[in-house]
Amino acid sequence: MAQNLKLQDKSGALIAQVEKESPGDKAGLLASDLVVEVNGNKIKDTFHIVQPISSLAVREKAIVKVLRDSQPMTFRAIITEKRD
1: DSSP letter: -
pLDDT, tens digit (0-9, with 9 covering 90-100), for 71-81:
999 999 999 98
What pLDDT score does 84 carry?
56
Total residue length of the chain: 84
What pLDDT score does 38 carry?
96
Residue ranges of the domains in the chain? 13-78
CB count within 10 Å of CB 65 equals 19
CATH code assigned to 13-78: 2.30.42.10
What pLDDT score does 48 carry?
86
Give the distance from CA 74 to its chain's centroid.
10
pTM for this one?
0.84
What pLDDT score does 69 carry?
87
Per cent of the chain over pLDDT 70 is 86
Name the residue among 27, 6, 10 with its Cα closest to residue 18: 27
Q: Is 5 helix (H, G, I), strand (E, B) or coil?
A: coil
